[in-house]
Amino acid sequence: SKGWFSTWLAKVDQDLAYKVLRIEEEAKSVDLALLEISCLLDPEIPYVLVPEEQAETPQELGSQIDKHWKIGKEHIFSGKISAWLKHAGHQDIFEKLEKIRKEYGEQQDRGVEIFLQSLGLPAPEFSIEPVTLSLGTIESIERVSRKVKLTHTGKRGYLCGEIRFSEEIDGVYLEEFILKELPRTGKAKTDLINIRLWPGKSVEFNLVIDAPRIPIGRKYDLSLVTKTNAVSEISIPLSFSIDLPTYSKKRSQKPLQVDKGVEIYTLGELAEYCYQKWSQTDDQILSGQVVKDALHLLQDKKLATWIKESLSERQITQEVEKIVSADMAFSEKCY
């Protein structure tokens, strides 16, 4: 029963008996108590992680944990290795490990890797491809995606961290693959990709540029940044610009009259006119009259006729006709 050994020991060495009694009272299990008492009585006792191997130093133990990861993780977070370090005279390492146990109880593999690196084991290594993403000019009606692959290229270690953009731009996001039902997979939009990889394993995801949501007329320069527990961080430069589609620059010989003194010759000019017509400053409220004016412009069949006859853009004409019919129904409900 608890306390029998300390009671017996008190007859020989009261100071040692007090230390043993504290271990008996505070230990979470009998096995842990016996281990800590053994280390207390013989500080030079080697640590046995697996039956066929013994560790004389923390560095030797670190190498063994790296080979027997699952067992080592259990010994770390059960407190067994802490007990050995405490009584073997490795106070600094003991304190580091106790901090890791408290902070990474929910991320144990990450905690093990931090501990092993503190003992001198090399950090994981990785590569990412492509190394740069120069996408040039993207038309404002396009949705462009590029596959990115990150691979754990090191010989050891648990690679963990995240991938995210250096700045947030609405319409620029990441898309990770989600396993649904074998053999089908789905995709999920996200702001970051979590990395949890063992040697030789990879993670793949898409970088997406949803051009209709991004302002035109400027060049965008940002990076896809990896933050991991590896020695070095890698950033992928990403550059692109958004421009109106080619057909929007096609010039009509016959202008579209949209307002007094305002003539439109291209779809690009029409888009800019509509934007200026509908845009409001922060301290203004979009009035019903402005909405009516915008709807009247769309409902005016001469717009579809102008696109069809002057620009010969059949597909765009069909899209405008859809908008006209939908907005007419909407306006009837509102006004």
User: 239-278 pLDDT, tens per residue?
Assistant: 999 987 777 677 777 887 777 778 888 777 776 776 666 5
Distances (CA, A) of 214 to 115, 170, 221, 240: 44, 7, 13, 11
Same domain? 230 vs 309: no
User: How far apart, in whole angstroms, are the C-alpha atoms of residue 304 and residue 238?
Assistant: 38
Kindly give the confidence (pLDDT) of every residue in the chain, 335 residues in length, as a single tens digit, with 9 standing for 90 and above.
Answer: 455 555 665 656 667 666 666 766 666 776 776 677 677 767 788 999 999 899 999 999 999 999 999 999 999 998 989 989 988 889 999 999 999 999 999 999 999 999 999 999 999 999 999 999 999 999 888 899 999 999 999 999 999 999 999 999 999 999 987 654 445 456 778 889 999 999 999 999 999 999 988 888 789 999 999 999 997 788 999 999 998 777 767 777 788 777 777 888 877 777 677 666 655 444 333 344 444 454 555 555 666 677 666 666 665 655 555 555 554 454 444 43
Same domain? 95 vs 8: yes
pLDDT of residue 286: 39
Strand bridging mode 219-228 / 235-243: antiparallel
CA angle, corner 153, sides to 150 and 155, nearest 5?
Answer: 150
Q: Is 148 exposed, middle or buried (0-12, 13-18, 19+ CB in 10 A)?
A: buried
pLDDT of residue 1: 44
Contacts of 244 (CB under 8 A, 6+ apart): 139, 140, 216, 267, 268, 271
Rg from Cα positions in the chain: 34
Strand bridging mode 159-165 / 219-228: antiparallel
CB 328 within 8 A of CB 299: yes
Q: Which of 269, 209, 267 is nearest to 241 (CA)?
A: 209
Same domain? 191 vs 258: no
pTM assigned to the model: 0.70
Backbone torsions φ then ψ of 78, nearest 5 degrees:
-85, -15
pLDDT of residue 330: 44
Domain boundary, last residue among 118, 138, 167: 118
Backbone torsions φ then ψ of 323, nearest 5 degrees:
-60, -45
Same domain? 134 vs 153: yes
Same domain? 202 vs 280: no
Domain boundary, last residue among 77, 97, 118: 118
Same domain? 162 vs 271: no
pLDDT of residue 278: 59
pLDDT of residue 249: 72
Same domain? 289 vs 217: no
Same domain? 103 vs 152: no
Same domain? 38 vs 114: yes
CATH number for the domain harbouring residue 188: 2.60.40.1510
Distances (CA, A) of 233 to 164, 172, 188, 236: 12, 21, 25, 10
Same domain? 135 vs 224: yes
User: 21-49 pLDDT, tens per residue?
Assistant: 676 666 677 677 667 767 776 778 899 99
Same domain? 192 vs 210: yes
Same domain? 146 vs 238: yes
Structural domain of 172? 126-243
pLDDT of residue 199: 96
Q: How many independent structural domains does the chain possess?
A: 3
CB 327 within 8 A of CB 295: yes
pLDDT of residue 171: 92
Domain boundary, last residue among 118, 138, 157: 118
- The residues facing 139 across adjacent strands are 243
